[in-house]
Structure 1
Amino acid sequence: MTEALVLQSDFGVSDGAVSAMYGVAHSINPSIRIFDLTHDIPPFHIWEASYRLVQTVPYWTGQTVFVSVVDPGVGSNRKSVVARTRANQYVITPDNGTLTHLCQAGLIAEVRQLDDHKHRLPHMGESYTFHGRDIFAFTGARLSSHAITFEDVGPLLPLEEIVLLDRTPAQRQGDHTIGIVEILDIRFGNVWTNIPVSLVREAGIDIGSRVTVTVDHRGRTIYEQSLLFGRSFADVPIGSGVVYINSLDQVAIALNQGSFAHAYEIGIGNDWRIYLKTK
């Protein structure tokens, strides 16, 4: 049986890069089943690639193989790795921080260094700039087709040696619950934080509460307003703000039928702090 092969990259689909990865996979196994996670990761944005994996991987079956290629260090001495999750999915990626969210969520069981001298497209030429095609898609197709095993890809690496991004955890501090903007729900402009539902419950925040929301960027207040903590967007009038629990059970902020991120020019990462305080 051929396992699903799921591809993610920052390549976009306006040229032939993604199609070339498909072609390599089909050359390994014409019956291979390929799915796209996304190819719209902003160029070089490892943080977003990491988040999209933790958003997606848990909902796929065991043995699914993911290939994630956001690789500003391509051709350098950075490692290539294959991670096995606790649910026995596999993630093939550069060791550049892409595994951060999966690791910190406790979903990674073990990681092997990919021997990319051994596992590479035959006759790949002298280019060192398209490992997504020549190494990652090639290895992903072979792993998903059972032409190689996880143990074949290379030696085990200690989990503590895996490159992780600097990511500030959510916390309670006095009467504030504090987190960061993890990601944007891009199409709709909702702002997703890293504050888990458990923290807001500890703070006594529940459906129907009024919450003072402050968005801070490098010490400058970008937004501050009292909002309803609702079940969904429809709990407030069109154009009004609402705090809610998103599909990953974390706090998010939205405008009903509007883009909160666009309206207030919100970015993502540790520099973007969210403070919640009950009235």
Structure 2
Amino acid sequence: MQQGTSPAIALLTDFGIRDNFVGVMKGVMTRIAPGTTFIDLTHEIPPQDVSAGAWVLGTAYRYFPAGSVFVCVVDPGVGSTRDAVAIHAGDWYFVGPDNGLFHFVLAEQPVHAAVKLTNPAFHLPTVSATFQGRDLFSPVGAHIAAGRHLLELGEPVPADSLRRLDLPGPVLKPDRIEADVSYVDHFGNLVTSIAFAMLPDFFDWPVVRLLLPAKQLIISERRRFFADQGDDAQPFLYVDSSGYIAIAMRNTSAARSLNIGRGEAVTLIWRNT
């Protein structure tokens, strides 16, 4: 990144907005990189839910301008021996704990450089054991936005040493895909790990069924959008805005109505003749 540029800094945390955590982080970064544009990606990741944070980041980062810096804090291991890292992957920069939070970014983008944040010159003078979002990740993110090179920030680490999550991933078979519910959004829609790109004929096949074995439930209705005609009391399948097959119920929460959460096993079966 060239000196003098001021790219956007996007924040993703599990801090919520009731307390002063997010505001303080922005204050720290503004002192280092005045005039920076801050974008709150979300602060409503469920507490300590690294997998949910990784999913949200993985479905959002590519919509940001090249050079954007993502400061991400979902960190149940704060104060432990887990590493703090900065990563240049694809066209973007990512700062946060090395705990799997960058799983989907690392799966999709080439890593140009990655470092452990071992240079205290780019931290606040005192680094708390409980608020490293303020004392470590915020100043580092701001220094990157202000033009510092990653190699100034600490020790290089190989890309293959960065933590990934232990996720099952969808398994494609000749007439089915075995997968799971990867994310539950604010509306209670259940987003599966089945990418629509895997099944471009999803809406054209005469028969599609999604099985949820643990609930002994079969969902066969498909809708292209929520206003399609149908029984509001029945769940249906659609393609969510991030490009994954999802389960919804119109005007209510499918997660609550069906008593289904993240990690629920699903099997999608189809017949194309």
TM over 0.5: yes
Tell me which residue corresponds to 1:228.
Answer: 221
Q: Give the letter aligned to residue 71 of structure 1.
A: D
TM-score by length of 1: 0.88
TM-score by length of 2: 0.90
Flag structure 1 segments of 5+ consecutive residues without an equivalent: none
Instruction: Using the TM superposition, give the Cα deviation of residue 198 of structure 1 relative to its aligned residue in structure 2, in angstroms.
Output: 3.5
What aligned pairs does 1:18-97 form with structure 2 within 5 A after superposition?
18-87=22-91, 89-97=92-100
CA distance in 1, matches of 2:239, 2:233: 18
Note if contact 2:114-2:150 (Cα within 8 Å) is conserved in structure 1. Answer: no
CA distance in 2, matches of 1:110, 1:149: 10
Note if contact 2:122-2:143 (Cα within 8 Å) is conserved in structure 1. Answer: no
Instruction: Using the TM superposition, give the Cα deviation of residue 242 of structure 1 relative to its aligned residue in structure 2, in angstroms.
Output: 1.7
Alignment partner of 1:276 is 2:273: no
In the superposition, relative to structure 1, how do residues 257 and 109 fare at CA in structure 2: closer, same or farther (>3 Å)?
farther
SS in 2 for 1:181: strand
Note if contact 1:229-1:244 (Cα within 8 Å) is conserved in structure 2. Answer: yes
Alignment partner of 1:197 is 2:190: no
CA distance in 2, matches of 1:77, 1:144: 26
Note if contact 1:208-1:228 (Cα within 8 Å) is conserved in structure 2. Answer: no
CA distance in 2, matches of 1:35, 1:225: 40
SS in 1 for 2:120: coil
Alignment partner of 1:206 is 2:203: yes
In the superposition, relative to structure 1, how do residues 223 and 2 fare at CA in structure 2: closer, same or farther (>3 Å)?
farther
What aligned pairs does 1:176-195 form with structure 2 within 5 A after superposition?
176-186=176-186, 188-195=187-194
Tell me which residue corresponds to 1:157.
Answer: 157
SS in 1 for 2:46: coil
SS in 2 for 1:97: coil
- Residues paired across the two proteins, number: 266
Structure with the larger strand share? 1
CA distance in 2, matches of 1:223, 1:156: 50
CA distance in 2, matches of 1:210, 1:245: 16
In the superposition, relative to structure 1, how do residues 67 and 223 fare at CA in structure 2: closer, same or farther (>3 Å)?
farther
Note if contact 2:205-2:270 (Cα within 8 Å) is conserved in structure 1. Answer: no
Q: What's the RMSD between the two structures over aligned residues?
A: 1.9
CA distance in 2, matches of 1:2, 1:91: 15
Q: Percent identity?
A: 30
Note if contact 2:72-2:95 (Cα within 8 Å) is conserved in structure 1. Answer: yes
Tell me which residue corresponds to 1:114.
Answer: 117
Tell me which residue corresponds to 1:136.
Answer: 137
Note if contact 1:171-1:199 (Cα within 8 Å) is conserved in structure 2. Answer: no
